[in-house]
Amino acid sequence: MELTEKIKQMILEHGWKLQNYSELHKNKEAVLILIKEYGYRLEYASDELKNDKEVVLEAVKRDGYVLQYVSKELRCDKEVVLVAVKQWGGALQYASDELKNDKKVVMAAVKQNGLALEFASDELKNNKELVLEIFNLYEFAILPFISAELKNELSDLIIKHLKK
């Protein structure tokens, strides 16, 4: 389906209605026009376009939250997930388990939002080196997300921070 200028303008003005037009939500050009303005509208794109890396990257760079609508295959794609978590750290919760265990991805998420540590793998939440790095950024906000064992190990550091 060839998009005319009139249709393109209509998409920009009434894009929120995309879910009502089955031909448009399958049209890559139409979906790209829409998500460049409203990334979260990826939700209404066809499954095929939710698995299209170009479309998905456009959407997640505007709204990391839409990672939840992305195909499972692209939730395993490090580039896609990094773009999403840099935009919104909480997108880590929608990443594949493998990427929730990737230090680079988790640090990108945590730098955007310290509370994203909650969605990291247990292995990384108990990685002393990583937790120390995050603690230096967010201090006590991360304590609910690390193990009691690691809290005990870090107790001297925590006490020093309390005495400041």
- Check whether 68 has a pLDDT greater than 60: yes
Rounded Cα gap, residues 140 and 22, in angstroms: 48
Please state, in angstroms and as integers, the Cα–Cα distance from residue 74 to each residue in 93, 100, 141, following that order. 14, 14, 30
Residue 136: Cβ within 10 Å count: 10
- Check whether 157 has a pLDDT greater than 90: no
Find the helix packing angle between 103-112 and 128-138, rounded to 10°.
10
Note the pLDDT of residue 28. Answer: 92
Where along the chain do its domains lie?
5-125
Note the pLDDT of residue 5. Answer: 77
Q: Are 47 and 22 in contact (CB under 8 A)?
A: no
37 vs 57: which has the higher pLDDT? 57
Mean pLDDT value across residues 69-74: 98
Mean pLDDT value across residues 5-11: 71
Mean pLDDT value across residues 146-154: 82
107 vs 15: which has the higher pLDDT? 107
| pLDDT category of residue 98 using cuts at 50, 70 and 90 | very high
126 vs 14: which has the higher pLDDT? 126
| pLDDT category of residue 135 using cuts at 50, 70 and 90 | confident
| pLDDT category of residue 90 using cuts at 50, 70 and 90 | very high
Note the pLDDT of residue 164. Answer: 61
Residue among 129, 108, 54 nearest 100 (CA): 108
Predicted TM-score of the model (pTM): 0.84
- Check whether 17 has a pLDDT greater than 80: no
Rounded Cα gap, residues 68 and 71, in angstroms: 8
Mean pLDDT value across residues 79-97: 98
**Spatial CB neighbours of 135, under 8 Å, sequence gap ≥ 6:** 142, 154, 157
Phi, psi dihedrals of residue 84, rounded to the nearest 5°: -65, -50
- Check whether 19 has a pLDDT greater than 70: no
Tokens for 129, please give them. 């080196």
